[in-house]
Amino acid sequence: MPNPAQYRSFLFVPGNRPERFAKALDSGADAVIVDLEDAVAPASKDEARDAAAAWLSPERPVMIRVNACDTPWFERDAELGKLRGVAGIVLPKAESAADVIALVSRTKSRLPVFPLIESAKGMFNALEIAKAPFVQQLMFGTLDFCADMNMATDDDVLDPFRANLVMISKVAGIRPPIDGVTPAIDDEHALNAETLNGKRRGFAGKLCIHPRQVATVNACYAPSDSELAWAKRVLDAFSNAKGAAIAVDGKMVDRPVVLRAQTILEGVRARITQHRRSMRGGE
């Protein structure tokens, strides 16, 4: 798995389907989320939790999506956070900082928390949620949010809320948020369009519900050839200017532009380094 700061794709796998866990890890997803919530029927919740607990290992770290704080399964789900092999916890239906604190108090760990904003109340309180202990990134539960708001799931309707989550994440000093799923697993055009839309709005990655979505999400969030070329031109010009004012492609280059160029190239270098390490590990 790459550095958590570089995660783009987050793949859900049902917690009651342990035969799929290894396949999810082999999908190319940056993070795998063993799902104990939406993907598991109430009658199978205990079975799913037991299956996840039996499979967890520090050699194959995964994230866990627990059930919401107000459900009868929450406390036992949260106990999984004490086990080795859990890389982070996704908290659904997060509506206040108290929800995050309730989770952390039960895991008794410093695991990163990924609250899912899925309701009007969660969106209204998103800043306090983002500032809660151990929150690494917010996630946008678009389908549940639309259901709660009684609104369409079109991107143009959701985009103002996306902008809100990006701004809140910046103010709270955490990583940019993760966008919601594309439910049509066979619609490559829709997946590509929705992923690029989230990227343009400032999101850092996207939730996936099927392995075949992973490659598209990773490709969309990777810098394009033109972006890489631009970043190199900016940094070369900045290096050669020795403090003088410069312009690249007819536009002035100031500190924020240089930082963006550095971020693009550093992300690529980090992934190359991670790939080389994984290749050496497989030798």
CB-CB contact of 166 with 202 (8 Å):
yes
Tokens of 123: 């969106």
Q: Determine whether the annotation assigns residue 175 to a binding site.
A: no
Helix axes 225-241, 255-281, angle to 10 degrees: 120
Other beta carbons within 10 angstroms of residue 190's beta carbon come to 14
Q: Determine whether the annotation assigns residue 84 to a binding site.
A: no
Please name the amino acid found at residue 277: R
Q: Determine whether the annotation assigns residue 118 to a binding site.
A: yes
**26: Cα within 13 Å, side-chain hemisphere:** 5
Q: Detail the residues annotated as belonging to a binding site.
A: 65, 118, 144
Q: Detail the residues annotated as belonging to a binding site for substrate.
A: 65, 118
Q: Detail the residues annotated as belonging to a binding site for Mg(2+).
A: 118, 144
